[in-house]
Amino acid sequence: MGFQEKIERLLHSSGVEFEPLAQRATWELLSRWRSTFASEVQAETGQGTHLGYEWHAFSYGFSAAEEGPDGVATVAAALPGPFFLLSGWTGVDFGFMCNGALPDLHSIRMDFILVGDNFDWTLVFTHELGFGPYHATA
């Protein structure tokens, strides 16, 4: 089973309404996410990501973020509501428009970007134990 199918199964079992996004829409949202939450990476390195991972914008200190369970609690309290869920892995392109409560993404060890539908917050999960999740506001 591929990553997208695992996410679809998790969203469904969590009671989250979701609609898969076209690849172009996913790329456009990721570009908007980078300019909103990780523009310092591009400014300082000339690259869209640092060392191939979106979350390195936070772990390497390019952008400010709160790390750990407090950020998860902040987002969980703001939901249910609309949000985007995007793959945070370079080369693994999928995204969803979601509406519902925060799903438990810890059970799937991969990189995810959640972002409010108006891009006022983001919550980024990593595949690495001991890093993240990272919460930032615009």
Structure confidence by residue, pLDDT tens digits, 4-51:
888 999 999 999 999 999 999 999 999 999 999 999 999 999 888 888
Q: What is the pTM of this model?
A: 0.93
Burial class (CB in 10 A: 0-12, 13-18, 19+), 22: exposed
User: What is the sign of the dihedral through the CA atoms of 97, 16, 70 and 49?
Assistant: negative
Cα separation, 99 vs 24, in Å, equals 21
Per-residue tokens: 125: 């999960």
Q: What pLDDT shows up at residue 22?
A: 96
| 64-74 residues labelled b (16+ CB within 10 A) or e (exposed) | ebbbeeebbee
Domain that holds residue 35: 3-137
Give how many domains the chain has, as a whole number.
Answer: 1
Query: What percent of the chain is modeled with pLDDT above 90?
Result: 75
DSSP 131: S
Cα separation, 44 vs 127, in Å, equals 24
